[in-house]
């Protein structure tokens, strides 16, 4: 370059080709606040969002304590409601093929009750076998408890906690926990009586549901939409989970029987029940077979149970069930886990089994029936549109990287 030629200005940094493979993204500008921050406040009648949240939380606390107070009748009533919703298509099919309305309603109610009573009877037989078998393993259980407590003491666990854990390996304590979890004979009889009565009354009232929904649709279309969607979602979820839970329980029971694990029938039933508990049900169903598998077959049996249980659970709950259920549930994993814990605390162990249907009902009432509240559906788990946006953004970023790489060459 000669002295007379003007010196070219330096190339801007933004236009220089980058050689480093990681490109810095432009910083997103901060969004400005709304021009009229009081517009939303005026639209809601002068009640601020913070006050509305506090009022909603207060109402939720009162509602939770109220449900807990009547949990003894709420749980079987809601169970009967779910069973009625699941059996409604069968009753409609019978009526369509000429069966009188009263006969179809009674037949479906009695069939569902017979299946429920048969399942509880099978559970009672398996529990009786377990009670008879348990004293035979008292020395092994106490020895296993001593080994675990000595290990806990070596890592610094306090003596009170160690003593409490050691008492859990006492057959009497284990039996009391199991019977308390399943309920005593009086509790089961009360549950069956309430469920039977509701299965007689609810299907009879359900015969008027289609006409009531058509009558309500012109004035409350959003409520009709929410209730119809809820019935479809809970029916699909419960039927699919029941069928897959039966398959899961049968496969696990056959495995435990082949391995010689005692009380295989009881652990198969436990596996079926825990299939209704998302996220954590698998671990509840796995622990008892592991303990008795270790007592009978050692670590080889334990490893076999973990592998086969893990494969069955992964295939059923992570592959098959999501594909069949689809978007019927549409709840986030965090909300699902919290609902299991919450309803188990409010109405007891059966609340963990009914957590998804109850949460779906609350979503239908609070979110789906209100067009203004449906914007919260993606936040609570309905991510169909969000996944499409993420896919489009990923493709756009990939195309942008290709273009920048082409300019840099």
Token pair, residue 284, equals: 């509840």
Closest to 79 (Cα-Cα) out of 356, 402, 380:
356
Task: Check: CB of residue 288 under 8 Å from CB of residue 273.
Answer: no
- Other beta carbons within 10 angstroms of residue 8's beta carbon come to 7
Closest to 279 (Cα-Cα) out of 338, 342, 362, 344:
338
| Tens digits of residue pLDDT in 290-314 | 888 888 888 888 899 999 888 888 8
Indicate whether 35 pLDDT > 60.
no
Q: Measure the CA–CA gap between 140 and 58, rounded to whole angstroms.
A: 50
| Tens digits of residue pLDDT in 101-135 | 778 888 877 888 788 878 877 877 787 777 777 77
CA 264 vs CA 127, 241, 274, 294, 306: distances in Å: 11, 21, 15, 14, 15
- Looking at residue 361, its pLDDT comes to 93
Task: Check: CB of residue 384 under 8 Å from CB of residue 3.
Answer: no
Token pair, residue 28, equals: 């997103």
Token pair, residue 78, equals: 């809601």
CA 256 vs CA 178, 269, 294, 299: distances in Å: 19, 12, 12, 14
| Tens digits of residue pLDDT in 241-270 | 898 889 999 999 999 999 888 888 888 988
Q: Measure the CA–CA gap between 273 and 305, rounded to whole angstroms.
A: 18
Q: Which of 150-159, 179-188, 276-285, 320-329 has the highest mean pLDDT?
A: 276-285
- Looking at residue 303, its pLDDT comes to 92
DSSP letter at 2? -
Q: Measure the CA–CA gap between 145 and 167, rounded to whole angstroms.
A: 8
User: Can you give the pTM of this predicted structure?
Assistant: 0.77
- Other beta carbons within 10 angstroms of residue 42's beta carbon come to 9
Confidence of residue 22 (pLDDT cuts 50, 70, 90): very low
DSSP letter at 329? S
Token pair, residue 85, equals: 């919703």
Q: Measure the CA–CA gap between 194 and 80, rounded to whole angstroms.
A: 8
């Amino acid at each position: 370059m000669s002295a007379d030629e003007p010196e070219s200005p330096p190339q801007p940094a933004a236009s220089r080709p980058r050689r480093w493979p990681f490109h810095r993204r432009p910083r997103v500008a901060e969004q400005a606040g709304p021009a009229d921050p009081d517009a939303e406040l005026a639209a809601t009648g002068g009640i601020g969002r913070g006050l509305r949240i506090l009022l909603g939380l207060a109402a939720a606390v009162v509602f939770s304590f109220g449900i807990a107070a009547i949990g003894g009748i709420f749980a079987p009533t809601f169970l009967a409601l779910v069973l009625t919703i699941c059996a409604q298509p069968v009753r409609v099919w019978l009526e369509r093929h000429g069966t009188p309305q009263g006969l179809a309603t009674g037949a479906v109610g009695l069939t569902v009750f017979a299946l429920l009573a048969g399942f509880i009877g099978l559970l009672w037989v398996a529990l009786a076998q377990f009670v008879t078998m348990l004293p035979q393993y008292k020395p092994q259980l106490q020895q296993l408890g001593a080994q675990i407590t000595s290990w806990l003491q070596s890592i610094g666990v306090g003596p009170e906690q160690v003593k409490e854990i050691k008492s859990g390996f006492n057959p009497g304590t284990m039996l009391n926990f199991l019977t308390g979890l399943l309920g005593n004979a009086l509790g089961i009889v009360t549950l069956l009586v309430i469920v039977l009565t509701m299965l007689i009354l609810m299907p009879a009232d359900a015969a008027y549901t289609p006409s009531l929904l058509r009558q309500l649709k012109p004035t409350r279309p959003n409520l009709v939409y929410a209730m119809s969607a809820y019935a479809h979602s809970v029916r699909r979820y419960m039927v699919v989970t029941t069928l897959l839970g039966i398959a899961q329980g049968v496969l696990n029971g056959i495995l435990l029987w082949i391995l010689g694990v005692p009380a295989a029938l009881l652990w198969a039933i436990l596996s079926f029940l825990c299939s209704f508990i998302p996220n954590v049900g698998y671990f509840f169903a796995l622990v008892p077979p592991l303990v008795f598998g270790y007592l009978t077959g050692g670590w080889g049996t334990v490893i076999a149970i973990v592998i086969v249980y893990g494969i069955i659970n992964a295939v059923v709950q992570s592959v098959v069930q999501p594909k069949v259920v689809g978007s019927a549930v549409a709840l986030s994993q965090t909300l699902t886990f919290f609902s299991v814990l919450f309803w188990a605390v409010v109405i007891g162990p059966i609340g963990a089994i009914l957590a998804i249907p109850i949460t779906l009902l609350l979503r239908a009432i609070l979110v789906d029936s209100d067009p203004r509240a449906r914007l919260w559906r993606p936040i609570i788990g309905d991510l169909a549109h969000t996944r499409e946006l993420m896919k489009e953004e990923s493709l756009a970023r990939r195309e942008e990287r290709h273009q920048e790489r082409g300019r840099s060459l």
